[in-house]
Structure 1
Amino acid sequence: MSTDQFALSSDLVNELLRGMRLRGVEYRRIQTGPTFGLGFAARPGHAWFHFLAVGNAVLRMDDGTPYALSAGNAVFISHGAAHQLLSHMDVPVQDIDLLDREPLGDTVSAVDTGTNAGPTPTAIVFSGCMEFELGSIHGLGKLMPGLMLIDAGGQRYPGLVPILTTMEREVSAARVGFAGILARLADVVAAMVVRGWVECACGNASGLVAALRDPRLAGALLALHQQPGRDWTVGQLAEQCNTSRSVFADRFQMTIGMTPLRYVTEVRMRLASQWLTLERLPIEEVAQRLGYTSQAAFSRAFKRITGKTPGLSRKSRQVAVS
């Protein structure tokens, strides 16, 4: 890949990650004795993040597959699947939600698994459960593996060790404002995990991941994500890639699995959902931002893609949060 193509791909990844949001974050600082078994229930629409700051543990996924973890390792469970953190494979398991906790802030609590911890805990885990909102790249989330094991010192995640270390330091010190700092650091960690996966998922790339690295498509993707409210035509998108309309349309359909204009509409509606539910923008303003000449036209498109009206989508989000 040439320097120009690499820069274009980098710009595109930057543009996509700008729309990523974490919301409804719940953190736990968990310390254990030599024997522990912690169960985490399935949370569809959420992501689990665990950072093992001290000690060793076994991660066992819902299908029974075990993974050995040591201090400095982290895991990102992007689809919220059920799993367990264990000292040994045959230890009894306790539901993490049933254990006593001590509030450390609005979104952070401390959990001690028992009196056998002694003066020095055997293991310390920083754990987070979050709603993982990818905004306009919602389709990317569907392609992400359910489990990503993070070797913070590896080449895929350069610079992650200082961030994870800072997170643990903030939890331990509990200084003023530490909960807000943790939320921002977690956002950075999630972005770095997603970026590392996009950059390194080379051999089996498919769909949007392949398109991000395809110079024949990346130019159009960058343009439409930067200007989602423009009245795009297939010909105009093809011009962004310096290719013919027919060649672009065929390659886009083959790589991403939908027509270019269908993709444009889905990007708009994902952004609309985020703006309506997270940023609380008026429906009329969202419609104008996305290039619709009337609120009615926008509402029809939104319902066609999401299955709900804009107003109902906002109300559903309010009920889920309350």
Structure 2
Amino acid sequence: MSAEQFALSSDLINELLRGMRLRGVEYRRIQTSPSFGLGFAEKPGHAWFHFMAVGNAVLRMEDGTTYALSAGNAVFISHGAAHQLYSHADVPAQDIDRLDGVPLGDTVSAVHTGTDASPTPSTILFNGCMEFELGSIHGLGKLMPGLMLIDADGQRYPGLVPILTTMEREVSAARVGFAGILARLADVVAAMVVRGWVECACGNASGLVAALRDPRLAGALLALHQQPGRDWTVAQLAEQCNTSRSAFADRFQVTIGMTPLRYVTELRMRLASQWLTLERLPIEEVAQRLGYTSQAAFSRAFKRVTGKTPGLSRKVRQPIVT
């Protein structure tokens, strides 16, 4: 990749990651005895996150696939699939939601599963259940693997391990404001995981991932995400990539799976949903930001794409679909 192409790709990924939001529903510092089993239920619209600070564990997914984890490893389960963590295969799993925890903050608690009096715990892990809102990169959600393993010695996520270690220290120390710091750090962790996946998923890149890496499309995508309210035409988007209208339209359709103008509409409605539900912006302001001449025109477009009115979207926050 040339320096110019890399700069364009970096600008686009930066723009996309700015819109990503991660809201911690619940964080836990889990301390176990040598023998333990923990079950985590399926959470659609959420992501599970585990960081092994001390000790070892085995991760088992619903399909029976297992992974050995050791101190310094982290796991990001982007689609909220059910899974288990255990010390030995014959240990029954306890539902994590049924275990009592000692509150450490609004969204953080400490859980101790051990029954022995040993002063040294066998395993300490930091667990998070989070609403995973990809914002304008919503299309990446369906393409992301359900499970991403992060190795302290790996090269895909440079700089991530010190952040994870800081999260563990914040949980352990319980200093003033640590819950808010944890939530911010978790947002950074998710952004770095998504970035690392985009950078390294070259073998099976498809859809929006492939478009991010394609200089013949990335210029148009960057312009769209920077100016979603502009009244774009296909010809104007093709100009951003220095290609003909027909060649651009064909490549966009083949790579992303929809027409450029359909992508514009869906992008606007994803942003609208985020601004209405997470940022609580007035409907009129959202309509203006997205280039609609009237609130009524915006409302019609929003209902056509999402199936509900902007007002209803504001009143009832729907589960996030990734």
Shared fold (TM-score, shorter chain, > 0.5): yes
Contact 1:34/1:116 (<8 A) preserved: no
- In the TM superposition, what is the alpha-carbon distance from 1:213 to its structure 2 partner? 0.3
SS in 1 for 2:51: strand
8 Å CA contact 1:21, 1:134 repeated in 2: yes
Q: Are positions 1:32 and 2:32 aligned together?
A: yes
| Matched residue, 1:141 | 141
Percent identical: 90
CA 1:131–1:31 in 2, change beyond 3 Å: closer, same or farther? same
Q: Is 1:120 equivalent to 2:107 in the alignment?
A: no
For residues 157 and 299 of structure 2, the distance between their equivalents in structure 1, rounded to whole angstroms, comes to 41
Q: Corresponding residue for 1:295? A: 295
**For residues 227-278 of structure 1, what are the alpha-carbon distances to aligned partners after superposition, in whole Å with 9 as ceiling and x for unaligned?**
0000000000000000000000000000000000000111110000000001
| 1:153–1:160 CA contact under 8 A, matched in 2 | no
Report SS of the residue matched to 1:239: helix
Alignment of 1:236-275 (within 5 A): 236-275=236-275
**How far apart are residue 110 of structure 1 and its match?**
0.2
Q: In the aligned structure 2, how far is the partner of 1:265 from the partner of 1:92?
A: 49
Give unmatched runs, 5+ long, in structure 2.
none
Q: Structure 1 residues 18 and 255, CA, compared in 2 at 3 Å: closer, same or farther?
A: same
Residue pairs, 1:35-184, within 5 angstroms: 35-116=35-116, 118-184=118-184
Aligned match of 1:217:
217
* Paired residue type of 1:46: H
Contact kept? 1:25, 1:183, Cα under 8 Å: no
Q: Which runs of 4+ in 1 moved over 4 A?
A: none
Unaligned runs of 5+ in 1: none
Tell me if structure 2 keeps the 8 A contact 1:26–1:129.
yes
TM-score, normalisation: structure 2? 0.98
Query: Post-superposition shift, 1:62?
Result: 1.0
Match of 1:286 in 2: 286
User: In the alignment, what sits opposite 1:314?
Assistant: 314
CA apart distance, 1:319 = 9.9
Q: What is the CA–CA distance in structure 1 between the aligned matches of 2:24 and 2:3, rounded to whole Å?
A: 39
Residue 22 of structure 2 aligns to a residue whose secondary structure is strand
CA deviation after TM superposition for structure 1 residue 315, in Å: 1.6
> 1:318, CA displacement in angstroms?
7.9
Question: Structure 1 residues 117 and 92, CA, compared in 2 at 3 Å: closer, same or farther?
Answer: farther
Kindly tell me the number of residue pairs found equivalent between the two proteins.
320
1:11–1:186 CA distance, 2 compared to 1 (3 A): same
Quote how far apart the aligned CAs of 1:116 are: 2.1
Alpha-carbon distance between aligned partners in 2 of 1:127 and 1:117, rounded to the nearest angstrom:
23
Counterpart CA distance in 2 for 1:221 and 1:95 is 43
The separation in 1 between residues aligned to 2:126 and 2:274, in whole angstroms, is: 28
RMSD: 1.2
Distance 1:45 1:144 in 2: 13
Q: C-alpha displacement at 1:24, in angstroms?
A: 4.3
Closer, same or farther in 2 for the Cα pair 1:271/1:118, shift >3 Å? same
Q: CA, structure 1 residues 87+41, in 2 after alignment: closer, same or farther (shift >3 Å)?
A: same
| Shift, 1:117, TM fit | 5.9
The more displaced of 269-278 and 295-304 is: 295-304
Cα contact 1:48–1:127 (8 A) shared by 2: yes
**Does the 8 Å contact 1:32/1:117 carry over to 2?**
no
Shift of 1:146: 0.4
RCO higher in structure (CA 8 A, sep ≥6): 2
Q: Which amino acid aligns with 2:79?
A: H
CA distance in structure 2 between the partners assigned to 1:117 and 1:252 by the alignment: 62
